[in-house]
Each structure stands twice: as structure tokens, then as C-alpha cells.
Amino acid sequence: MALLDVHDVEVTYRTKEGPLKAAEYVSFQLKKGDSLGLIGESGCGKSTMAKAILRLLPDNGQISGGEILFQEQDLAKLSPKEMRKLRWKELSLVTQSAMNSLNPVYTVGAQIVEAIRTHEAVSKRRAWERAENLFRLVNIEPSHLTNHPHELSGGMKQRAIIAMALCLNPSLVIADEPTTALDVIVQDRILQQIVRIQKEISSSLIYISHDISVIAETCDYVVVMYGGHVMETAPVREFFRHPSHPYSLGMQNAFPNLEDVDSELISIPGYPPDLLNLPPGCRFSPRCPFADSVCQEERPELHFIGTQHGTRCHFPDRAEAFRAQAKLPETWTERPAQGQRGVGA
Ligand SMILES: Nc1ncnc2c1ncn2[C@@H]1O[C@H](COP(=O)(O)OP(=O)(O)OP(=O)(O)O)[C@@H](O)[C@H]1O
Ligand SMILES: [Mg+2]
């Protein structure tokens, strides 16, 4: 039984131009203790899905379809009060903007103790001890608990926030690009820590990033989103060995490959679709080098080509041929007939 079973979720934002569906038919599962990387270009709906799961969508956004089964209850149907009980305790979020969420007036230790004691009946002393352990876990000397947020460096502050997000041993942690504001070395260290701790406290993790190489190192499963749809989902090894959706192939070309350092970086020409004006068929079809007329007309289903490997492509059985062709730069040259401009991925 999955800890989280996201099933055909649809999220709609009300906008001046009309309803904007930022996610549609989004389905994926996550087992207890596993980690899942949610990847895709900017605007493809990653944060929208994180906010939908945590029920933290802004006022103009709503879950307009589907189910989000967490421990077998549908989060989409819980009352705000029931949801508040689950947040922090069972589901917690680490984001980049969380960097500013620490209260400048109180010491970091006092804030962690407060968070623990709001949800659990434990003494101050016991809560402080837990805060000390958490700081050790994220590699901060526990004496820093008596510091105010401004006294910590950026990297330390982010680790303190991770400690806080973990202070109630949540079953699911969602990290939405938690490290992009930090320099690369600090980013890498924090990421390693998130994964180590996640394994240690055996929580499940959804790690959101636009950088596919980050996911390769950290996650058990990959979910690729594009234009509000899940395009491919697979166990991480399978995804890197046998990527099948043309968009995944394009993304893999656009990031440095550690196993083949000489491979040329190739970007996908064109832009992601305008969600208010979507192409009728496959959302990737305007940029896909393999698109056929059916791709422009019919929305592909997520076809399962392995027990856990799905691809939303009309031609799942041509994946091997696509993989070979996708390695050639000329496959991705602009198609002038579509009037697109090439951009870096
Ligand atoms: N409050 C909102 N009102 C209207 N549209 C929104 C709102 N929030 C997000 N959107 C739109 O929904 C789409 C998905 O946005 P989302 O933030 O989920 O993308 P993302 O994949 O997290 O992107 P990024 O990598 O840039 O963080 C985008 O087209 C965005 O413009
Ligand atoms: Mg985002």
C-alpha cells in the first residue's frame, strides 16, 4: 500500500484570462521510506502539486479533480482543521522561501521547541534535547540553538529549517527546490543531508527540482512533468538507462552526464506551452522531433512499459529508436515550419 497515492489530480487557478489548469491527470505513488524526484522546466506545475498535496494553494487555486490519498485518506476532501493537524506532524514542507520563515525575534532553539510542543505533550527540556539531536543530525553544533536566525549563515539557516521541518518525524517531507538560493557546494551538502536524514527517520521524500542530475543522485523514483502533465514516471535507474518519453530524452541531453562527460549538451528548441492556450494533442508535440499527426490531435495516455515505468507518448514501443536518434544534435535542430526559437534548457 502506498503512503501517498496521487490519482488523476487536476489543479485550476482562476485568472483574469480564464481558468488555468496547472496540473491535469497527475498520478504517481510513493511508498513509505522512498524518495521521489519531481522534475520539469519552470512553470510545468511542480510547486502547484506540492501545494496541492499540502493544501496550501493560494486563494485563486483549487484542486478541481482527482484524489490525493495519504495513509488512505483523501487530503483533497479534508477540512482545513483536519489538514492543519496533519501538516508538520505528518506532512512537512521545505522551500526556498522558508529561509525567511524563521522568526527573527526568537532563538532558533526556542522556535523548534515551540513547534514540537504545539503538537506533542512533552516537557521543554525533552523538546530542547530533541532540538539538539536534530541539530546534530543536520551537522550544526547544538550550541547554535541559542542563536537568533540572523546569527546563522545561509547554509546553516537552511539546515535549521530542515531540522524544524523534521522535528515531528513527519511521514512525508516535500522539499521544493530548497537549495537554489545557496552556492553549489552548500547545495550539494544540504541535499546529501536531506537524503541521509530521510533514510534515518524513514520518512518519505518528494524532492522537487528542475535539475535532473540532482534527482539522479538522490531519489528512488522519477516523475517528469511537462505543461501540467506527467510525461514519464520510472524507478530512477530505469529512467536513466531507458528514458522513453521524447521530453525526457531532451532533458537528459540538456544536462551534463556524469557517465559520459564528453557528450554534447543539446537543448530542446522552443518553449513550454502556454497553459491558457494548450495544444490539443500531446503537450510536448510542438517541440517533439518525433511528433506525428496523431500527436497533434490526440492526448496520449500514460502507457506502462514496465511495472512501474510509464510514458505519456503515443509511441511507447518506439522508445529505443527515439533514444538512439535523440543523441544526435541534428534531431533537435529547430523546425522552422513551427516558427519556434531555440532556447537553452
Ligand atoms: N497563484 C497563481 N495564479 C495563477 N497562475 C498560477 C499561480 N501559481 C502558479 N500559476 C501558474 O501555474 C503554472 C505552474 O506553476 P508552478 O509554480 O507550479 O510551476 P513550477 O513547475 O513550480 O515552476 P518553477 O520551476 O519555476 O518553480 C505556471 O504557468 C504558473 O504561471
Ligand atoms: Mg516551483
Q: Which atom of ligand 1 is nearest to the CA of 48?
A: 18
- Beta-bridge mates of residue 7: 67
How far are the Cα atoms of 167, 229, 310, 326 from residue 210, in angstroms, in the given order? 27, 15, 20, 20
What the block records as the C-alpha cell of 274 is 502556454
What's the CA-to-centroid distance between 211 and ligand 1, angstroms? 17
Higher pLDDT, 163 or 97: 163
Shortest-distance Cα residue to atom 31 of ligand 1: 43
Nearest CA to ligand 1 atom 11: 22
To test the ligand 1 pocket, which listed residue (15, 16, 41, 44) has its Cβ within 8 A of the most ligand atoms? 44
- Judged against a pLDDT cut of 80, whether residue 19 lies above it is answered with yes
How large is the average pLDDT for residues 324-337? Answer: 81
Cβ neighbours of residue 82 under 8 Å, at least 6 residues apart?
Answer: none
Task: Please give the pLDDT value at position 51.
Answer: 95
What pLDDT does residue 165 have? 86
Report whether pLDDT(121) > 80.
yes
pLDDT at 285 over 80: yes
Span 48-62, pLDDT tens digits: 999 999 999 999 999
Q: Is 47 in the pocket of ligand 1 (CB under 6 A)?
A: yes
**pLDDT over threshold 70, residue 340:** no
pLDDT at residue 166, rounded to an integer: 85
Report the range of poorest mean pLDDT among 74-78, 93-97, 165-169, 266-270: 93-97
* Cβ atoms of residues 7 and 65 within 8 Å: no
SS3 sequence of the chain: CCCEEEEEEEEEEEECCEEEEEEEEEEEEECCCCEEEEECCCCCCHHHHHHHHHCCCCCCEEEEEEEEEECCEEHHHCCHHHHHHHECCCEEEEECHHHHCCCCCCCHHHHHHHHHHHHCCCCHHHHHHHHHHHHHHCCCCHHHHHCCHHHCCHHHHHHHHHHHHCCCCCCEEEEECCCCCCCHHHHHHHHHHHHHHHHHCCCEEEEEECCHHHHHHHCCEEEEEECCEEEEEEEHHHHHHCCCCHHHHHHHHHCCCCCCCCCCCCCCECCCCCCCCCCCCCCCHHHCCCCCHHHHHCCCCCEECCCCCEECCCCHHHHHHHHHHHCCHHHHCCCHHHCCCECCC
Instruction: With a cut of 70, say whether residue 181 has pLDDT above it.
Output: no
pLDDT for 335 equals: 63
The pLDDT of residue 87: 87
CA distances for 146 relative to 108, 111, 165, 261, 336, angstroms? 6, 10, 18, 45, 61
Looking at per-residue confidence, does 6 or 306 come out higher? 6
3-12, 23-32, 212-221, 321-330, range with the lowest pLDDT? 212-221
Binning pLDDT at 50, 70 and 90, where does residue 162 land? Answer: confident
Q: Are 225 and 236 in contact (CB under 8 A)?
A: no
With the C-alpha atoms ordered 90, 93, 94, 97, is the resulting torsion angle positive or negative? negative
Place of cell 527540482: 209
Atom from ligand 1 closest to the CA of residue 23: 14
Q: Which of 9, 12, 13 is the best mutation target for the ligand 1 pocket, counting ligand atoms within 8 Å of the beta carbon and taking the most? A: 13
Mean pLDDT of the chain: 89
Give me the pLDDT at residue 182, please.
64
pLDDT at 254 over 90: no
Q: Is 0.85 surpassed by the pTM of this model?
A: yes
Task: Assess whether pLDDT exceeds 70 at residue 71.
Answer: yes
pLDDT band at 302 (very low <50, low <70, confident <90, very high): very high
> Positive or negative, the Cα torsion across 202, 206, 209, 213?
positive
pLDDT at 338: 47
Any atom of ligand 1 within 6 Å of the Cβ of 39: no
